[in-house]
């Protein structure tokens, strides 16, 4: 028998518009900033110099973002929701204004690091507070809106950055970003519950250090030109991740929820599925290049290829977030990576030198469909993470960990994409095929992890995918409570 999930409507969602604007807006400014900065930096370098430090602007941002995302649970426990969000927006505004005022590349690097701290806090808070700031029936819709902000940022950022760069106003772009963040921050006191403050949790030092080493390794791999050296660094990153898992399993205080490491919990498989899906976004970095050099498109038209993947991701999330049938939800989790793998594989077949215009035009709907593979699965995987534990604190940590996984998977995907393109050597069609076939294989692995998620969640009652580890904690205290439950 197919159970139905208790799901709110978009009309109910509109009643919480301030909360949605704050949660989604915080994620959006961070996502826009990544691609905005990439578009602006060439212009900034012409003015302030520092070309040798160019690649490190992304590294500074990424490492700082990971540090901040890992700190969300601790910040919430000490400061509560409102103060945490105000801190996140304030840090992001300070970093943006420092970037705008940078007289030299070193100062810009510092500003990018501060921006990364703010963006990491806002991204982590956005996912963590779905659990407490929105009613449970709105979790799926909230997850869909917030996750869609990554896709929207992927095509708004370059367009906005290109517009400001065109007029030589790269500093003004950072000022505008700071102003938008400040406006959203003004809604925070009326949009969020204050949240209960608790004693600060001990910092899981070993796990945190291993995650930082992995983040730094991914960043370094992404800027290397030698494929062998890049592969060696990525292998070291994988070894660091393994050490992280071992450390987390043995530790008393962890970054990820305890249920992640329980045998019958779907949480580990949920995170792996999210990582395998989200890493595929790295493909869009090279799509404008392929469009120009293989398809003969002008830069503006080639830019739409990069935006097509993100558009498919964002639009499909909104369309499927209203799914109520548990059977349909299970199918969407599997269909997502399957659609993405098929889209990349077909697109790989169409990568030829001097491709005819009809072939190039066919790339666009294929990319939209491949992006839709992320969108149809992502909100349901995010909610699966939140409902995989019964303890509210662990549920908040499970939700916040989605942001950690997304941040790391995007960075890891970028490094893998660089490696695959480099393997193609001087032949651009070969590089394009390696890239697309490689990520098709990665997405195909996601089919297997999604099937594992479905198997583990089907075994549990609807709405509770990971039964309590200690049933005695959930037994009624007396006969009266037992009768009231029945």
pLDDT class of 4 with cuts at 50, 70, 90? low
Q: Say if residue 478's pLDDT is above 70.
A: no
Phi and psi angles of residue 463, each rounded to the nearest 5 degrees, phi first: 90, -15
Ranges 242-251, 300-309, 399-408, 463-472: which has the least confidence:
463-472
pLDDT class of 452 with cuts at 50, 70, 90? very high
Provide DSSP, 417-461.
Answer: HHHHHHHTTT-HHHHHHHHHHHHHHHHHHHHHHHHHHHHHHHTS-
Greatest mean pLDDT range, 82-96, 288-302, 306-320: 82-96
What's the average model confidence in pLDDT over 367-392? 87
Only one residue has tokens 């939700």, namely 399
Q: How many domains does the chain have?
A: 3
Is residue 3 in a domain? no
CB 291 within 8 A of CB 301: yes
Whether residues 183 and 215 share a domain: the answer is no
Q: Which residues contact 353 (CB under 8 A, 6 or more apart)?
A: 294, 428, 429
Is residue 460 in a domain? yes
Is residue 306 in a domain? yes
Helix 357-386 and helix 326-349, axial crossing angle in degrees, nearest 10: 150
Which has the higher per-residue pLDDT, 335 or 466?
A: 335
Whether residues 223 and 368 share a domain: the answer is no
> How does pLDDT run across 85-106, given as a tens digit for each residue?
999 999 999 999 999 999 998 9
Full domain range(s) for residue 160? 15-193
Q: Supply the pTM of this predicted model.
A: 0.77
> How does pLDDT run across 139-193, given as a tens digit for each residue?
888 888 888 888 788 778 877 877 787 777 889 999 999 999 999 999 999 888 7
> How does pLDDT run across 60-83, given as a tens digit for each residue?
887 788 888 888 888 888 888 899
> How does pLDDT run across 200-243, given as a tens digit for each residue?
566 677 887 888 788 778 777 767 778 788 888 888 988 998 89
Whether residues 55 and 188 share a domain: the answer is yes
pLDDT class of 407 with cuts at 50, 70, 90? confident
Q: What is the pLDDT at residue 477? A: 41
Q: Say if residue 251's pLDDT is above 90.
A: no
Cα angle for residues 23, 450, 327 (degrees, 5° grid): 85
Q: Could you say which of 171, 193, 215 is where a domain stops?
A: 193
Q: Say if residue 463's pLDDT is above 70.
A: no
Is residue 261 in a domain? yes
Cβ neighbours around 483 below 10 Å, total: 9
3-state helix, strand, coil split of the chain in percent (to 5) is 80, 0, 20
Which has the higher per-residue pLDDT, 382 or 166?
A: 382
Whether residues 155 and 83 share a domain: the answer is yes
């Amino acid at each position: 028998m197919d159970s139905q999930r208790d799901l709110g409507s978009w009309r109910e969602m509109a009643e919480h518009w301030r909360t949605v604007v704050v949660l989604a807006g915080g994620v959006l400014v961070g996502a826009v900033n990544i691609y905005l900065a990439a578009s602006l930096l060439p212009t900034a370098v012409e003015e302030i110099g520092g070309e040798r430090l160019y690649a490190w602007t992304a590294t500074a941002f990424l490492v700082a973002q990971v540090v901040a995302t890992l700190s969300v649970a601790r910040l919430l426990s000490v400061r509560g929701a409102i103060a945490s969000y105000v801190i996140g927006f304030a840090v992001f505004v300070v970093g943006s204004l420092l970037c705008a005022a940078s007289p030299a590349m070193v100062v810009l690097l510092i500003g990018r690091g501060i921006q990364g701290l703010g963006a990491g806090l806002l991204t982590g808070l956005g996912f963590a507070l779905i659990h407490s700031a929105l009613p449970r029936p709105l979790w799926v819709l909230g997850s869909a809106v917030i996750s869609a902000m990554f896709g929207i940022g992927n095509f708004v950022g370059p367009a906005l950055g290109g517009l400001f760069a065109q007029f030589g106003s790269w500093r003004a772009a950072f000022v505008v970003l700071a102003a938008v963040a400040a406006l959203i921050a003004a809604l925070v006191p009326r949009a969020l519950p204050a949240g209960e403050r608790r004693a600060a949790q001990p910092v899981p030092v070993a796990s945190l250090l291993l995650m930082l080493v992995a983040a730094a390794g991914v960043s370094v791999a992404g800027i290397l030109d030698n494929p062998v050296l890049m592969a060696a660094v990525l292998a070291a990153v994988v070894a660091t991740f393994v050490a992280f898992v071992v450390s987390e399993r043995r530790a008393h205080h962890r970054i990820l929820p305890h249920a992640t490491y329980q045998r019958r919990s779907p949480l580990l498989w949920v995170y792996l599925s999210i990582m395998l899906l989200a890493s595929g976004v790295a493909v869009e970095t090279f799509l404008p290049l392929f469009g120009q050099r293989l398809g003969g498109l002008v830069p503006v038209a080639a830019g739409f290829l990069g935006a097509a993947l993100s558009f498919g991701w964002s639009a499909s999330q909104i369309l499927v977030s209203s799914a109520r049938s548990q059977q349909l939800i299970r199918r969407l989790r599997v269909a997502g990576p399957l659609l993405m793998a098929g889209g990349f594989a077909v697109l790989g077949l169409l990568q030829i030198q001097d491709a005819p215009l009809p072939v190039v035009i066919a790339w666009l709907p294929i990319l939209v469909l491949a992006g839709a593979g992320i969108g149809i699965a992502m909100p349901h995987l995010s909610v699966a993470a939140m409902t995989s534990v019964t303890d509210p604190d662990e549920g908040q940590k499970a939700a916040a960990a989605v942001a950690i996984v997304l941040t790391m998977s995007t960075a890891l995907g970028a490094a893998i994409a660089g490696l695959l393109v480099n393997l193609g050597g001087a032949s651009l069609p070969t590089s394009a095929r390696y890239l697309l076939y490689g990520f098709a294989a990665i997405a195909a692995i996601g089919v297997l992890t999604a099937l594992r998620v479905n198997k583990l969640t089907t075994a549990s009652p609807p709405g509770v995918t990971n039964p309590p580890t200690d049933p005695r904690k959930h037994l009624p205290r007396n006969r009266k409570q037992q009768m009231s439950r029945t």
